[in-house]
């Protein structure tokens, strides 16, 4: 049966499961819903017919950040139907095919007036087939549909909301065709707590579960929070559960423990890090780093303390920039790799647009390795076009903007801090300088060697003190790692010879002996000379006085 009269009362949202998705004011997204309603409402009253073109909004935000939920809530508030179209389905083999599909989508939306036509992933439209250039025919059609269509006199408009996870990829001609732009920001800690409270309301949480602590850890998207609750429920049930089984599980009263939620969040953090472009950081923990006790303490005080006890720094006096400097091979990069395992994501980068991704992945650490190559002293880089100077200026602006962003930290590492632009070292930027020097005393070297060999199988005769006695006095962490790698190679060669002679088997453990370390020590050459070490000591004194 086909009706002939437009209905001003849309059908109820059909999304099953949790009431969060059908709420008129979803927790943490009420501001976005209000902005959408304020932008769309003028096109719904009688005077709105005087407005030229289609009421349109470009809605940007991270994947799973609540864009669809916000649009659905706005439609419910304004009594509008919602007609959703994925722009992937609009992309044809030719410009003409894409144009026809686009016009057809708008024509279909007319049947559901008053309604919102939701164009998902708008950044896909207007591109040519290879995705590099602009398809002017498709762009012109979209602009015509958005800007030149008559609002009509029926009083039943078709409004358009386009969503994107990558606003930087939306073509300029497409972006300017929309009357309004709304951005879904990463939720604050209070908003995340409200979301968690709503999303876990039907879960039988254990008494030890603290939503405040979970909100502090779960700086991820709305979808991640929802799937986190379901993942925790699956872990509590010790297996994958269907939605019906989940309801039965909850009805039976089996509690979801804090341990289940923490494991689920760890899994989701990894997925979310991949989604925002964070590379996979090797599993390095503090136990893998020997020595460097002062450097570890400074890092923990700067990064881990604000994450674990934000109430102590609520007055706003906090550092967000940390610069590790010192000779090569002393463990600067290794220290930065260990920080994510203290409760934050990490982005290792050599370019600037990642600051937006870092805010979406908070708590997050941006790690600039070899910072002196990215931000040299302005005016001295030999760059006639001034490109490097502009990069430094943009980096300074982004660092200054971090003061309004909680739980995003920046770590830089460099061998030559004297080559950096001085503005980087001013208060509020990289204002905490940590010297990562060589392990010059035997006690520090022993801690490093113990950390490196802690997973090795050592012969009972091996004495690490005796190994160090055979080595040069000035050694970096990289030198000691090279020593162990060389000793391991000696052990492998010996084992291969024994297997070929029938004296050993492949299944037996690889054991390092004192002889292996002795052979490696005879070939070990320090990577930092005495003259270079003297230069770094001068640099250390210079920056210690700052």
Residue 2 inside a domain? The answer is no
Beta bridge partners of 434: 324
Cβ neighbors of 367 (< 8 A, separation 6 or more) are 336, 346, 347, 348, 349, 410, 411, 412, 413
> Which residues of the chain fall below pLDDT 50?
1-2, 10-17, 48, 50, 153, 235-239, 315, 341, 343, 347-352
What is residue 311's predicted lDDT score, i.e. its pLDDT? 59
CATH code where residue 407 lies: 3.40.50.300
Strand stretches in 130-184, DSSP E: 158-164, 180-183
Same structural domain, 86 and 133: yes
Q: Are residues 330 and 412 in the same domain?
A: yes
13 is a domain residue: no
pLDDT score of 118: 95
Buried b (16+ CB within 10 A) or exposed e, 280-289: ebeebebebb
Q: Are residues 84 and 130 in the same domain?
A: yes
User: Residue 316 to residues 309, 312, 362, 406, 423: CA-CA distances in angstroms?
Assistant: 13, 9, 17, 9, 22
* CA distance linking residue 66 with residue 345, whole number of Å: 21
Task: Say whether both 408 and 321 belong to one domain.
Answer: yes
Question: Looking at the domain assignment, is residue 220 inside a domain?
Answer: yes
The CATH number assigned to the domain holding 261 equals 1.10.8.60
**Of the residues 131, 156, 183, which one is the last residue of a structural domain?**
183
Asked if residue 162 belongs to a domain, the reply is yes
Q: Is 298 found in the same domain as 266?
A: no
255 Cβ neighbours under 8 A, 6+ residues apart: 204, 205, 206, 207, 236
pLDDT at 64: 74
Which residue range is the domain that position 406 belongs to? 286-435
The Cβ-side half-sphere exposure at 373, using a 13 Å CA radius, reads: 8
Strand 408-414: give its sheet, edge to edge: 345-349, 364-368, 408-414, 321-325, 432-435
Res 282: pLDDT: 58
List Cβ neighbours of 45 (8 Å cut-off, separation of 6 or more): none
Selection from 149, 437, 156, 171 nearest residue 293 by Cα: 437
> Six-digit token pair at 450?
């113990």
The last residue of a domain, from among 398, 414, 435: 435
Q: Determine which helix (DSSP H) or strand (DSSP E) holds 325, and give its type and residue range.
A: strand 321-325
Task: Tally the domains of the chain.
Answer: 4
pLDDT for the residue numbered 525: 86
Residue 222 sits in the same domain as residue 329 = no
> Do the domain assignments include residue 540?
no
> In the listed set 435, 452, 468, which residue is the last one of a domain according to the structure?
435
Determine the 3-state secondary structure of 408 from DSSP.
strand
Whether 417 and 488 share a structural domain:
no
Q: 541 in a domain, yes or no?
A: no
**Are 270 and 365 part of one and the same domain?**
no
Contact 525, 315 (CB under 8 A): no
Q: Are residues 329 and 346 in the same domain?
A: yes
Q: Helix 30-40 to helix 67-78 angle, to the nearest 10 degrees? A: 50
Is the peptide bond between 363 and the residue preceding it cis, with omega within 30 degrees of 0?
Answer: yes
Residue 518 makes CB contacts below 8 A (sequence gap 6+) with: 467, 470
Residue located via tokens 């908070």 = 362
> Cβ(505)–Cβ(499) under 8 Å?
yes
Note whether 406 and 303 are same-domain residues.
yes
Supply the pTM of this predicted model.
Answer: 0.60
- Residue at 544 is within a domain: no
23 and 164 in a single domain? The answer is yes
CA dist., res. 89 & res. 101, Å (int) = 8
- 208 with 176, same domain: the answer is no
Is 10 inside any structural domain? no
For residue 180, the model assigns a pLDDT of: 93
């Amino acid at each position: 049966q086909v009706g002939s009269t437009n209905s001003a009362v849309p059908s109820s949202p059909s999304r099953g499961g949790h009431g969060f998705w059908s709420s008129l004011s979803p927790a943490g997204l009420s501001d976005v819903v209000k902005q959408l309603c304020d932008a769309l409402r003028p096109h719904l009253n009688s005077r709105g017919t005087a407005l030229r073109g289609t009421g349109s909004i470009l809605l940007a935000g991270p994947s799973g950040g609540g864009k669809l939920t916000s649009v659905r809530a706005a439609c419910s508030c304004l009594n509008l139907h919602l007609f959703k179209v994925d722009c992937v389905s609009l992309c044809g083999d030719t410009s003409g095919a894409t144009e026809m599909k686009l016009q057809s989508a708008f024509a279909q939306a007319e049947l559901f007036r008053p309604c919102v036509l939701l164009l998902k992933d708008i950044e896909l439209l207007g591109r040519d087939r290879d995705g590099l250039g602009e398809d002017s025919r498709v762009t012109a059609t979209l602009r015509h549909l958005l800007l030149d269509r008559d609002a009509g006199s029926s009083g039943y408009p078709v409004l358009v909301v386009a969503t994107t996870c990558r606003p930087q990829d939306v073509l300029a001609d497409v972006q300017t065709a929309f009357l309004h732009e709304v951005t879904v920001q990463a939720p604050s800690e209070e908003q995340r707590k409200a979301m968690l409270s709503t999303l876990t309301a039907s879960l039988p949480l254990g008494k030890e579960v603290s939503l405040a602590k979970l909100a502090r850890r779960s700086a991820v998207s709305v979808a991640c929070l929802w799937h986190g609750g379901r993942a925790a429920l699956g872990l509590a049930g010790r297996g994958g559960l269907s939605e019906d089984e989940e309801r039965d599980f909850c009805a039976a009263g089996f509690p979801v423990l804090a341990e289940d939620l923490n494991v689920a969040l760890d899994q989701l953090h990894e997925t979310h890090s991949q989604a925002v472009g964070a590379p996979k950081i090797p599993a390095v923990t503090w136990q893998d780093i020997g020595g460097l006790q002062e450097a570890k303490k400074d890092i923990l005080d700067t990064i881990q303390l604000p994450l674990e006890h934000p109430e102590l720094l609520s007055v706003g006096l906090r550092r967000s920039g940390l610069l590790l400097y010192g000779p090569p091979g002393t463990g600067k990069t290794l220290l930065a790799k260990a920080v994510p395992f203290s409760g934050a994501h990490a982005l290792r980068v050599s370019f600037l647009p990642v600051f937006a991704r870092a805010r979406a992945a908070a708590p997050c650490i941006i790690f600039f390795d070899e910072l002196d190559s990215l931000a040299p002293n302005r005016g001295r880089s030999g760059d006639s076009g001034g490109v490097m100077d502009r990069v430094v200026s943009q980096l300074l602006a982004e660092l200054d903007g971090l003061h309004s962003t909680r739980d995003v930290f920046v770590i830089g590492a460099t061998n030559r801090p004297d080559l950096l632009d001085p503005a980087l070292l001013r208060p509020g930027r990289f204002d905490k300088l940590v010297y990562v020097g060589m392990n010059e005393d035997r006690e520090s070297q022993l801690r490093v060697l113990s950390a490196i060999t802690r997973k090795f199988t050592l012969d009972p005769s091996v004495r690490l003190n005796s190994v160090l006695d055979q080595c040069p006095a000035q050694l970096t962490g990289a030198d000691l790692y090279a020593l162990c790698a060389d000793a391991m190679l000696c052990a492998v060669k010996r084992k291969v010879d024994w297997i070929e002679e029938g004296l050993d088997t492949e299944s037996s453990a690889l054991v390092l002996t004192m002889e292996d370390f002795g052979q490696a020590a005879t070939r070990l050459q320090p990577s930092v000379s005495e003259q270079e070490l003297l230069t770094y000591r001068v640099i250390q004194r210079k920056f210690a006085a700052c």
